[in-house]
């Protein structure tokens, strides 16, 4: 297979301190390079991990903390490339941002640039799993954001194989053919309450099919209708559409509702997508509150002092007081889900 050559826009996303909107990108013609050469040319921003003939590429902590993103670093997120022939083996979503996380995700910018209707997909609380097929080794790959053989890759594989252990003999062959002929990988939310509990409580391990993403440098995915067809054909649970929002007023109403604790109990939030495939996300108040309290739990469980100035509501004070009564040992050993369940049995306070 030949290397693919292409031009990359030199878009660097920085905050415009004056206007608070996205600065116009400057398109600069760069030397013709392969994708893997471009990625390797930015070691200060992008980390490569070689795993046999496959390399993973991910943006590093410096990019994440600085908030300075280029088109190249946005691509480098769960990106796996054959380091011998340059072909893309697996890829996840481009990096996208929270509501109001960047200047171009504020109300003014979104209202002007979004193409309606906007779809709101339920956001699940697990970790990213990418199912790909390695044609060179003739096998499936169970990838996380950076590894094909790490612990979380094994958790992903075990859940997948357990859920599909009773499939027909040709199930795996048909799945491989569909993925190879369609030139896509499958991206899942991996929910593993045993090995990887988060904030939302789940009764059992689950896999949610989030997207079928084409193995191309520029992000492109199948339609939701095609995704549902794939799910039906191969017995995958597909992400749910939570809302269809026809205009800005409907979207803003949904955004405001996600800021209410009672309206968001038990969910992480939503991923919004417009008709031009622009994505942004917003987490609900219930999730944000308990994620923050998880940090408090971890600090107290490690024996550290916690400033009480952040607890400005009776509800948050009740939770904090309950944690201090539990004691350091339980806080160290229990998950935030266990702490929350114990709290809810004892308290009926409201925000």
Q: Specify if 109 maps to a domain.
A: no
Average pLDDT over residues 295-300: 97
Least confident of 161-165, 191-195, 244-248, 311-315: 311-315
- For residue 231, name the pLDDT band (cuts at 50, 70, 90): very high
Q: In this structure, are 134 and 230 located in the same domain?
A: yes
Rounded CA gap, 49 and 57, in Å?
7
Q: What dihedral do alpha carbons 328, 332, 334, 338 form, nearest 10°?
A: 60
Q: Is 243 left (phi over 0), alpha (psi -120 to 50) or beta?
A: beta
For residue 105, what are the β-bridge partners?
A: none
- For residue 348, name the pLDDT band (cuts at 50, 70, 90): low
Q: Specify if 106 maps to a domain.
A: no
Verdict on whether the full-model pTM lies above 0.85: yes
Average pLDDT over residues 195-216: 97
Q: In this structure, are 166 and 228 located in the same domain?
A: yes
Average pLDDT over residues 343-349: 82
Q: Specify if 260 maps to a domain.
A: no
Sign of CA dihedral 207, 208, 211, 212: positive
Q: Specify if 259 maps to a domain.
A: no
Q: Can you give the residue range of the structural domain that contains 184?
A: 124-240
Q: In this structure, are 186 and 293 located in the same domain?
A: no
**pLDDT exceeds 50 at position 325:** yes
- pLDDT, one tens digit per residue, over 9-67 is 444 444 433 333 333 333 444 456 899 999 999 999 999 999 999 999 999 999 998 88
Q: In this structure, are 94 and 137 located in the same domain?
A: no
| 68/176: higher pLDDT | 176
End residue of a domain, out of 203, 220, 240: 240
Q: In this structure, are 88 and 134 located in the same domain?
A: no
- pLDDT, one tens digit per residue, over 71-93 is 999 999 999 999 999 999 999 99
Two structure tokens written together for 221: 């995915």
Average pLDDT over residues 266-283: 97
End residue of a domain, out of 240, 256, 275: 240
In the chain, pLDDT over 90 holds for what percent of residues?
85
Q: In this structure, are 145 and 193 located in the same domain?
A: yes
Q: Residue 128 in contact with residue 187, Cβ under 8 Å?
A: yes
Q: In this structure, are 227 and 321 located in the same domain?
A: no
Q: In this structure, are 293 and 329 located in the same domain?
A: yes
Q: In this structure, are 87 and 144 located in the same domain?
A: no
| 227/15: higher pLDDT | 227
Q: Residue 349 in contact with residue 318, Cβ under 8 Å?
A: yes
Q: In this structure, are 74 and 153 located in the same domain?
A: no
**pLDDT exceeds 90 at position 103:** no
Q: Specify if 171 maps to a domain.
A: yes
Q: Residue 225 in contact with residue 96, Cβ under 8 Å?
A: no
Q: Specify if 279 maps to a domain.
A: no
End residue of a domain, out of 240, 274, 309: 240
pLDDT of residue 67: 86
Q: In this structure, are 201 and 166 located in the same domain?
A: yes
When the pLDDT of each residue in the chain is averaged and rounded to a whole number, the result is: 90
CATH number at residue 201: 3.30.470.30
Average pLDDT over residues 151-159: 97
Q: Specify if 84 maps to a domain.
A: yes
Q: Specify if 200 maps to a domain.
A: yes
Rounded CA gap, 164 and 275, in Å?
34
Q: How many domains does the chain have?
A: 3
Token pair 């109300």: residue:
107
Least confident of 144-153, 229-238, 244-253: 144-153
Token pair 């939770």: residue:
319
pLDDT of residue 168: 92
- pLDDT, one tens digit per residue, over 163-201 is 999 999 899 999 999 999 999 999 999 999 999 999 999
Q: In this structure, are 195 and 153 located in the same domain?
A: yes
């Amino acid at each position: 297979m030949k290397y693919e050559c292409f031009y990359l826009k030199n878009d660097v996303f920085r905050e415009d301190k004056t206007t608070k909107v996205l600065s116009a990108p400057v398109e600069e013609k760069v030397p013709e390079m392969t994708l893997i050469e471009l990625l390797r040319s930015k070691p200060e921003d992008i980390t490569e991990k070689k795993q046999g003939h496959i390399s993973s590429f991910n943006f590093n902590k410096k990019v994440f903390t600085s908030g300075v993103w280029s088109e190249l670093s946005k691509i480098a997120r769960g990106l796996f490339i054959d380091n011998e022939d340059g072909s893309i083996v697996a890829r996840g979503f481009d990096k996208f941002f929270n509501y109001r996380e960047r200047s171009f995700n504020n109300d003014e910018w979104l209202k002007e640039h979004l193409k309606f209707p906007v779809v709101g997909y339920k956001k699940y609380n697990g970790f990213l799993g990418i199912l790909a097929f390695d044609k060179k080794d003739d096998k499936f790959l169970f990838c996380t954001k950076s590894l094909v053989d790490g612990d979380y890759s094994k958790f992903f594989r075990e859940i997948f194989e357990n859920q599909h252990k009773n499939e027909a003999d040709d199930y795996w062959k048909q799945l491989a053919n569909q993925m190879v002929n369609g030139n896509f990988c499958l991206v899942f939310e991996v929910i593993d309450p045993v090995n990887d509990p988060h904030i939302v409580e789940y009764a059992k391990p689950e896999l949610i099919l989030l997207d079928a993403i084409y193995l191309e440098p520029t992000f492109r995915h199948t339609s939701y209708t095609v995704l549902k067809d794939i799910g039906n054909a191969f017995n995958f649970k597909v992400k749910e559409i939570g809302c269809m929002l026809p205009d800005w007023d409907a979207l803003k109403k949904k955004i405001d509702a996600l800021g209410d604790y009672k309206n968001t109990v038990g969910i992480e939030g939503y991923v919004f997508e417009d008709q031009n495939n622009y994505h942004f996300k917003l987490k609900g108040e219930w999730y944000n509150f308990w994620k923050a309290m998880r940090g408090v739990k971890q600090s107290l469980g490690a024996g550290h002092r916690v400033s009480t100035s952040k607890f400005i509501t009776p509800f948050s004070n009740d939770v904090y007081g309950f944690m201090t009564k539990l004691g350091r040992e339980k806080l160290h050993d229990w998950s935030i889900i266990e702490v929350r369940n114990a709290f809810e049995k004892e308290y009926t306070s409201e925000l």
